[in-house]
Amino acid sequence: MNKSVFFGTVAAASLVAGFASAQTLAEVQERGTLNCGVTTGLTGFAAPDANGEWQGFDVGVCRAVAAAVLGDANAVEFVPTTGQTRFTALASGEIDMLARNTTWTFSRDVDLSFEFVGINYYDGQGFMVPRELGVSSALELDGATVCIQTGTTTELNLADFFASNNMSYEPVPIETNAEAQQQYLAGACDVYTTDASGLAATRATFEDPSAHVVLPEIVSKEPLGPLVRHGDNEWGDIVRWTLNALIAAEELGVTSANVGEIGNTTENPEIRRLLGTEGELGAMLGLDADWAANAIAAGGNYGEIFEGNIGESTPIGLARGLNAQWTDGGLLYAPPFR
Amino acid sequence: MATLSDPPRESFHISQLLYDTRYRSITIQVIAFILIVAAFVFLARNVVINLSALGKDFDFGFLGSRAGYDINQRLIEYSNESTHGRAALVGILNTLLVAFLGCIVATILGVIAGVLRLSKNWIVSRLMSVYVEGFRNIPLLLWIIVIFAVMTESTPSPRDFRGADPEASMLLGESVAITNRGIFIPAPVWGDGAFLLVSVFIVSLAGIWAFRRFARKRQEATGAILPVFWVSLGLFFVPVLVVYFAYSAAISRDQYPLLAVGAEQGMTLESYVEANGNPSICALPSTAGVNLSSALREIGQRANIVRVSTEAELLEAVQSGDCILAAVSPTVAASFPGTVEGVEMAALTDTVDRGRPLQFERPQLAGFNFEGGVQLRNSLIALWFALSLYTGAFIAEIVRAGILSVSRGQTEAAFALGLRPNRTMNLVILPQALRVIIPPLISQYLNLTKNSSLAIAVGYMDVRATLGGITINQTGRELEGILLMGLFYLALSLLISAVMNLYNNSVKLQER
């Protein structure tokens, strides 16, 4: 009898454990805040400002999702993660989504069982060196000491790039961007390599940015995007279509300034569907009808978030480039809202 | 006459399991055992179910797949083409290295500080108190970061050594460079005659052992004390040095010609390098190869040395284009054909020294950095010294306690016999104190080894950084990786304590 009770308990416990995953949306709504994983600090993408408020391009995605789900762009708990801790934090449920310059790769999508919901920045890996070294090409870096964030795709690309060009290098492994910056400026490494956007963001915080050059070679494709856990498709849909709503809003001319009234005044049916004045797209996601309007009102459309945090008018000064709308010759392309 | 009746039959009721003291203890143990097993089964099942809910399986196959990342400090052959398993091994060796170095320095520091803290000299004993209290009471992580930051921020970078009037210069006759990437020191390289040198050294060691045995016997027989230390020291160094200098003098005038692929008659090394750039050099296991690479660095060239062990391998490497420049003995050069399957070889006008049986390769500026020699990376130095200083403070207290545990009368008796203080310490006090010192010392060694995983703070590539860091991150095998790491630390700790317990058994009080 003892035995059967015991096995019964084990079976019941394991059933509970089996059903415990999924339903992230319900959890977030019940909690009242969204737990969003970001970097430990990369100016322009995600970093606390002087008042301790998180600001940045990736932070904008977190706020948009919080606004869509909870109606409040400030209902976000930002969880700083390093290159090494980010996936464990997401897999274990510590965070609901990760918006942290994370490259969409096959093995992360398939083997690590995450779901990339889209791409919010098309990037590639670059190299930055002090101007005084007189290096003008990455092919001149034979024998250099390279600072590299461990546990990243850039680490693997770096090894491939040097091996395929028959050059040697000395890796200096570091955990965070701040640490890399300190090591690089102290001259403990000749080169800092990471995504080109990260290099630009890091250089912008230097005392004398012009003393450092970003070399012309881009050695990889780094499609960066937010991701969620595998297996909760409803939640994945919400994050995916929030990102798409931001991109579509720019294409359709919906901005944070006009999002309040354009839904009622416009004749364009796609804008009306997007903003919930027509159709039931919100209900299909299990959200309010004005979910997308809230998301856009939080920080503006994709273009506004880009220009406000990393665009050419900011110290980081990134051109839109590949990240322009498809109508402007870029790669941004949101599927239709219908 | 008494009637014998049968003893009452043992009757057993199920309630006796609980109320009968004979059975109760067994019942409790059985129930406790079942509960513990149930808890473990529950945890294991939970893990399996959660893993399958996440779409993951439990598989160690990732250890055999290509790692794809590089490790800067490797004691064994490793490249990004190697497997994750090999990367883990590189990390394990790095952990063992820093633990081993740390235990040695911590012991030395600890014994000295522990003895000095009992010194009658007020300043010395206070200084040691400051050291012990300072390191014992501030977290280890802070010390690691402080030492690392000092090493990185206060030392010149390699480019400061460059130019006609450099900001920084090398120490000890241009052989040691202290930079913010670490300390570069000369590396030993074995050349021709190394076998002879090693043989002489081994014979000297045997001689030292024999002499000590003889001295001990003599002391026991006659009471006369021979100068064991000085004779041992002399035997250790003198024969080897004599052979080294004799051999070096004999071959000092030998010059090795340089064979170069595609060279023209009368070309110097410098003009050949200018024409070909960044050459790969072939080196037979001889210090001539080291001399060639130093000669190349003198003219500002980096060189990749391809090690070959025989003449046939040299020929093959030249033919396959793995190397284009070789320093070989004149006899080999003479036997080498002018054209090897279409590859033209010619001797340059420059030659290099044949080299000595044991030579030290100096670090030299080349490319972006110092090349040659051994690089002690800042991460290793910071970790090593912080671990040593921190654990040394604890060991100092253990040593102090051990010495204080030896009765004062022992010292007085030794002094009364006319023993000098240092002899008293070495022959009377420390051997008795060791019995008290060793057991807590074991746990300090274990602490130091486990604390080495704080390497994460300075980017030292130990097993936590390779297997437990990058590998886990690139493959997503957290559970497997952490389990393996746990197993490694467990095995290492058990091994250290087993070895130390053996030693403890040999010094503890022998009871008869």
**B71-126 per-position pLDDT tens digit:** 988 888 888 889 999 999 999 999 999 999 999 999 999 999 998 998 889 999 99
Q: How many CB atoms lie within 10 A of CB B240?
A: 18
Is B70 within 8 Å of A112 when comparing Cβ atoms? no
- Which residues in chain A have their CB less than 8 angstroms from residue B81's CB? 163
Residue A14 has pLDDT above 50, yes or no: no
pLDDT at A2 over 60: no
Give the pLDDT of residue B38: 96
Partner B, chain A 263-322, Cβ-Cβ below 8 Å: none
Task: Show residues of chain A in contact with B50, CB under 8 Å.
Answer: 17, 21
- More reliable by pLDDT, B174 or A319: A319
The set of long-range contacts for B21-25, using a CB threshold of 8 Å and a minimum separation of 24, is: none
Question: Which residue has better confidence, B360 or A284?
Answer: A284
pLDDT beyond 70 at A22: no
Q: Kindly determine whether residue A133 and residue B159, on different chains, have CB atoms separated by under 8 Å.
A: yes
Q: At residue B109, what is the residue type? A: L
User: Do residues B61 and B75 touch, judged by C-beta distance below 8 A?
Assistant: no
* Token output for B445: 């060694």
Q: What does the pLDDT read at residue A294? A: 93
Q: Which pLDDT value is given to residue B339?
A: 62
Place of tokens 């033919």: B319
User: What are the tens digits of pLDDT across the range A193-223?
Assistant: 998 888 988 898 888 988 999 998 899 999 9
Give the burial class of B271: count Cβ atoms within 10 A of its Cβ; 0-12 exposed, 13-18 middle, 19 or more buried: middle
Closest by CA to B488, choosing from B91, B14, B76, B47, is B91
Q: What string of H, E and C letters represents the secondary structure of B53-83?
A: HCCCCCCCHHHHCECCCCCCCCCCCCCCCCE
Q: Is A16 on the interface with B (CB under 8 A)?
A: no
Burial class, A16, CB count within 10 angstroms (exposed 0-12 / middle 13-18 / buried 19+): exposed
Q: So what's the pLDDT on residue A224? A: 92
SS3 of chain A: CHHHHHHHHHHHHHHHHHHCCCCHHHHHHHHCCEEEEEECCECCCEEECCCCCEECHHHHHHHHHHHHHHCCCCCEEEEEECCCCHHHHHHCCCCCEECCCCECCHHHHHCCCEEECCCCEEECEEEEEEHHHCCCCHHHCCCEEEEEECCCHHHHHHHHHHHHCCCCEEEEEECCHHHHHHHHHCCCCCEEEEEHHHHHHHHHCCCCHHHEEECCCCCCCEEECCEEECCCHHHHHHHHHHHHHHHHHHHHCCCCCCHHHHHHHCCCHHHHHHHCCCCCHHHHHCCCCCHHHHHHHHHCCHHHHHHHHCCCCCCCCCCCHHHCEHHHCCCECCCCCC
- What is the overall mean pLDDT for chain A? 87
- List the end-to-end C-alpha distance of chain A, in Å, as a whole number: 59
Which residue from B38, B53, B478 is facing A88, i.e. has the nearest CB?
B478
State the nearest Cα–Cα gap between B485 and chain A, in angstroms: 16
B53-80 pLDDT, tens digit each? 766 777 888 899 888 898 988 888 888 8
**Contact (CB<8Å) A155/B378:** no
Burial of B498 (0-12, 13-18, 19+ CB in 10 A): exposed
pTM: 0.79
Question: Residue B369 is nearest to which of A112, A143, A230, comparing CB atoms?
Answer: A143
pLDDT tens digit sequence for B268-294: 777 777 777 666 777 666 777 778 777
Among A249, A318, A287, smallest CA distance to A101 is for A318
- Residue A18 confidence class, pLDDT cut points 50, 70, 90: very low
Question: Looking at beta carbons, which residues of chain B come within 8 Å of A190?
Answer: 368-369
Mark yes or no for CB contact B367/A142 under 8 Å. yes
Residue A65 at interface with chain B, using a CB cutoff of 8 Å: no
Which residues make beta-bridge pairs with B66?
B83
Exposure b/e, A301-310, CB count within 10 A at least 16 = b? bbbbbbebbb
Contacts A142 to B, Cβ<8 Å? 278, 302, 367
Q: Provide mean pLDDT across the span A28-33.
A: 93
Whether the CB of A91 is below 8 Å from some CB of chain B: the reply is yes
Q: What pLDDT was estimated at residue B182?
A: 87
Closest Cβ opposite residue A17 in set B34, B46, B153: B46
Interface test with B, best of A6, A102, A109 (most B CBs within 10 A): A6
| Contacts with A111 from chain B: Cβ below 8 Å | 475-476
φ and ψ of B222, to 5 deg:
-115, -20
Contact between B230 and B211 (Cβ < 8 Å): no
- Looking at residue A271, what DSSP letter applies? H
Q: What is the pLDDT of residue A16?
A: 42
Beta-ladder partners of B375: B184
CB B377 within 8 A of CB B73: yes
Cα–Cα distance measured from residue B374 to residue B307, given in angstroms and rounded to the nearest whole number: 17
pLDDT below 50 — which residues of chain B?
none
Query: Tokens standing for B102?
Result: 């740390």
Helix (H, G, I), strand (E, B) or coil at A18: helix
